[in-house]
């Protein structure tokens, strides 16, 4: 069964681009469009789409106002040129947040998530592209960072320590395995059970002994201590 979708964007060119993306996916059926919040507030309860591709800024209003005015909520995929709204989007339980211009590969990943949600499998593991933003949610706050800032991810029980270039690390409320499912490979490589690294950001490897070494990453003040498994894996993936 097709996923019935709507597009809400005040710019005709952007709606046309999204129509083109939707048209190449047989899993999607475009059932309507809206150029204003007012039109969308009328059309969505009437058409009852399964999902809405929603711009953040819509004329003098915004997509968040639209959602506040709905008594019946479809799945929402925000499509915006502004990355700093991503935290607000995830706070209202958006399915995904696409940055304009949307690439075919990134759009296809969102479609995969919608299909899994329709099948009742959830939508957690959507592959990301190298240029995407990543939401890092801790127990006290959240931040959205460019993927290129991530130097390494270290397992810490049910949490993951995200080591970022030039900024303090973040203890993220996600298991390391969930990052492995979504981060692009390459550049991210899992070296052992507890470590994922951004391969192009490796500065140097210092052997400390037969079975241990220090891995220096550009932008980090302290090296990563790695063991034999990680050393061997690194040898196999390094050019």
pLDDT tens for 187-224 read: 899 999 999 999 999 999 998 888 899 999 999 999 99
| CA proximity to 174, closest of 184, 162, 159, 189 | 159
Higher pLDDT, 181 or 14: 14
Mean pLDDT of 222-232: 94
Determine the pLDDT at residue 155. Answer: 95
Mean pLDDT, the chain, integer? 89
| CA proximity to 184, closest of 201, 169, 163, 198 | 198
pLDDT bracket for residue 232 (50, 70, 90): very high
SS3 155: strand
Task: Return the CA Rg of the chain.
Answer: 20
Distance CA 45, CA 86 (A): 25
pLDDT bracket for residue 184 (50, 70, 90): confident
Mean pLDDT of 160-189: 89
Neighbouring-strand partners of residue 15: none
pLDDT tens for 38-67 read: 999 999 999 999 999 999 999 999 999 999
Determine the pLDDT at residue 131. Answer: 60
Mean pLDDT of 78-90: 82
Going by their DSSP bridges, the two strands 159-164 and 150-156 should be labelled as antiparallel
Burial of 236 (0-12, 13-18, 19+ CB in 10 A): exposed
Determine the pLDDT at residue 123. Answer: 46
Determine the pLDDT at residue 124. Answer: 45
Per the CB < 8 A criterion, the answer to whether 53 and 79 are in contact is: yes
SS3 94: coil
Higher pLDDT, 198 or 185: 198
Mean pLDDT of 67-83: 89
How many residues does the structure list for the chain? 239
pLDDT tops 70 at residue 122: no
Beta strands in 125-238 (DSSP E): 133-137, 142-146, 150-156, 159-164, 170-172, 188-192, 195-198, 202-207, 212-217, 224-227
% pLDDT > 70, the chain: 95
Determine the pLDDT at residue 201. Answer: 93
% pLDDT > 90, the chain: 58
Distance CA 117, CA 48 (A): 17
pLDDT tops 80 at residue 90: no
Largest Cα–Cα distance in the chain?
68
Distance CA 183, CA 129 (A): 7
Higher pLDDT, 140 or 96: 96
Query: Which domains, from first to last, does the chain contain?
Result: 3-118 (3.40.50.2300), 133-237 (2.40.50.40)
Residue 161, both tokens: 């320590």
Going by their DSSP bridges, the two strands 61-62 and 224-227 should be labelled as unpaired
């Amino acid at each position: 069964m097709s996923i019935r979708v709507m597009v809400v964007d005040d710019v005709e060119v952007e709606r046309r681009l999204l129509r083109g993306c939707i048209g190449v996916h047989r899993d999607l059926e475009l059932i309507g469009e809206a150029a204003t919040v007012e039109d969308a507030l009328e059309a969505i309860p009437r058409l009852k789409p399964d999902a809405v591709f929603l711009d953040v800024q819509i004329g003098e209003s915004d997509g968040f106002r639209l959602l506040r005015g709905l008594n019946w909520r479809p799945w929402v995929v925000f499509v915006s040129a502004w990355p700093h709204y991503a935290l607000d989007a995830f706070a209202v339980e958006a399915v995904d947040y696409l940055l304009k211009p949307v690439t075919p590969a990134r759009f296809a990943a969102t479609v995969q998530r919608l299909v899994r949600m329709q099948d009742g499998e959830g939508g957690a593991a959507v592959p990301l592209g190298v240029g995407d933003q990543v939401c890092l949610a801790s127990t006290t706050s959240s931040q959205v960072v460019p993927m290129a800032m991530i130097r390494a991810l270290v397992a810490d029980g049910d949490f993951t320590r995200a080591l970022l270039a030039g900024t303090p690390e973040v203890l993220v409320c996600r298991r390391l395995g969930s990052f492995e499912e979504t981060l692009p490979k390459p550049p991210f490589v899992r070296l052992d059970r507890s470590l994922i690294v951004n391969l192009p950001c490796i500065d140097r490897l210092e052997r400390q002994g037969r079975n241990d070494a220090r891995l220096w990453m550009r932008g980090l003040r302290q090296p990563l201590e790695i063991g034999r498994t990680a050393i061997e894996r690194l040898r196999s993936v390094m050019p």
